[in-house]
Amino acid sequence: MELADDGKNICIFDVDDATLSNLPYYEVHHYGAEAVNSTALNEWFMVGKLPALNETLEFYNNLLKLEKIKLIILTGRRDDMEDVVKANLQEAGETSYSGSTFEFKEEERRKLVEEDGYRIIGNMGDQWSDIQGIHLGNRTFKLSNPLYYTAQAEGTDQNLYFDF
């Protein structure tokens, strides 16, 4: 793929279970056999010790070497978790990204393309909501996640978690 050298190529990475793993949380909670307790899950997030997914980290580091693609982190987490997420990403090895946002992902992709003039070269997530909608990117990467499905509550920016 030919990439323009104008600083407008981006690759988007979702955080939970695409960049950082929640598997240690689910191990303690019987791998999804228990209903999700939002309070306990948010407490887990706030500890900020989620390990990196090694394959994603390798892909991330390979993209950094290209120097023609900016890396963007998107997450559906609450705004009050931003500092914890950024510190966790740095500790896990994702240290060089151009931006992060705690906005509704589809809307943020629209802003990046339509308002800021970026081209989404790649888009990676573990939920269909991470990679569907408008402005998907030239390449999309849907990672397997057998533990839960996330959907947006209609008319809100609130995530709903569904265990399998």
Beta strand 148-152 with 159-163 is: antiparallel
Question: Domains (ranges, CATH) in the chain?
Answer: 9-163 (3.40.50.1000)
pLDDT of 134: 84
For the chain, which residues score pLDDT lower than 70?
99-104, 146-164
Q: Which of 1, 103, 124 is nearest to 60 (CA)?
A: 124
Give the model's pLDDT for residue 164.
31
Q: Give pLDDT tens digits for 41-84.
A: 899 999 999 999 999 999 999 998 988 999 998 888 888 898 99
Q: Are 154 and 135 in contact (CB under 8 A)?
A: no
Assigned token pair, 80: 């009050």
Predicted pLDDT of residue 152: 47
Other Cβ atoms within 10 Å of 100 Cβ, number: 18
pTM of the model: 0.82
Structure confidence at residue 74 (pLDDT): 87
* Torsion angle defined by CA atoms of residues 103, 107, 112 and 115, in that order, rounded to the nearest 10 degrees: -120
Closest by CA position to 127, among listed 16, 42, 2, 43 = 16
